[in-house]
Every structure is written in structure tokens, then in C-alpha cells.
Structure 1
Amino acid sequence: MPKELPTQNKPWFLYLIECQDDSIYTGITVDVKKRYSAHVSGKGARYTRIRPPQKLLAVIEFKDRASAASSEYTIKQWTAAQKRAFAQKHSLS
């Protein structure tokens, strides 16, 4: 049985979630589907436990955690309007 790759060899993903109060949550992970499910079930970040997710807006792939974390930090400084504009350019649909 093959071993799972260490996370440093996997791509990392930055994701944006629209919450029920119309705010935008930004996070990073190696498994977007699993992480989004955690947010929806109330087991994700405290932010999304208080403001439940409404929909996943965007997902962007990065080659490593450092790149994803750097972009996450930058995007977290933006207004909700700036995050929405960014999400439209990287839409899932």
C-alpha cells in the first residue's frame, strides 16, 4: 500500500468562503473538500463557527505552503469587496 505524500510535496490551496453574514473567510489547506466540509459542519475555524459558510467562492493552487500562506496573509488585509473581485477572477464556475 503506497504511503501518503508528505504535505511539503503536495500542492497547497488558498480558498475563499462567503459566509452567511456576507463576510469572506480566507484560508489555506492541502485538501479543500475536507476543509470546507469541516467549516460547514462547525468544526473548522472559529470564524466560520460563528459565521457559517454559505458557499465556496474561489480556490487557487500554490506549489508550497509558504506561497499559499503569503498570499493568504495579503488577501486577509483586503476589504470584502476586494476579496469578491478577486474571487470573480478565480471563480469555481
Structure 2
Amino acid sequence: MPFYVYILLCMDGSFYTGYTKDLNERTRQHENGKGAKYTKTHRPQKVAYIELFNTRSSAMKRERAIKKLTHQQKQGLISSQSNK
């Protein structure tokens, strides 16, 4: 079963990055205020970006790398995927 790295676009224009094995369940948790502390106060609007990985370890590494990006760099990453 694949692991997903995802970026949520929040209502205030900020981004939340995470990883999960079950993307549908995890996004539902975020939407219901039962996900991360961040998304309890920065309500998610939509899933803006997704990457698939075969292992938890590779997903975690990618999540950490994305979290280090600036807001502008994350926007570029999202734009590059939506242009495919």
C-alpha cells in the first residue's frame, strides 16, 4: 500500500504538509478538526498537492524536505503538478 505526501491549502492561504497511508481518512480528520493541531486553527480548504511513495521512510523524508520550502516554493511545486 502506498504512502502519500500531501499539501493542504488552508482557508487563510497557508499550507499544511503531511504524510499518510490513507489520504481520504486523513483529509477527513483534518476537515473535522481531528487532524494536526495546525489544521484545527487553520482550516483546510482542499488538497493542493499529492506525491506517492512505496515506503514510509521515503514519504517521511519527502515530507521533511517540503516542510523546509518557503511558501513561494510550495506554490511552485503545486503549480508544477497542476500543469501536468
d(CA) in 2 for partners of 1:33, 1:20: 19
In the alignment, residue 79 of structure 1 is paired with which amino acid?
A: T
The residue that corresponds to 2:3 in the other structure is 12
Q: Which structure has the greater CA radius of gyration?
A: 1
The residue that corresponds to 1:3 in the other structure is none
Aligned Cα RMSD in Å? Answer: 1.2
What TM-score does the superposition give when structure 1 sets the normalisation length? 0.84
Name the % identity.
39
Question: Gapped runs of 5+ residues in structure 2?
Answer: none
Alignment check: 8 A CA contact 1:60 1:90 kept: no
Count matched residues. Answer: 83
In the alignment, residue 58 of structure 1 is paired with which amino acid?
A: Y
Question: Gapped runs of 5+ residues in structure 1?
Answer: 1-9
Alignment check: 8 A CA contact 1:75 1:83 kept: yes
d(CA) in 1 for partners of 2:78, 2:61: 17
What TM-score does the superposition give when structure 2 sets the normalisation length? 0.93
The residue that corresponds to 2:21 in the other structure is 30
1:66 and 2:57 aligned: yes
The residue that corresponds to 2:42 in the other structure is 51
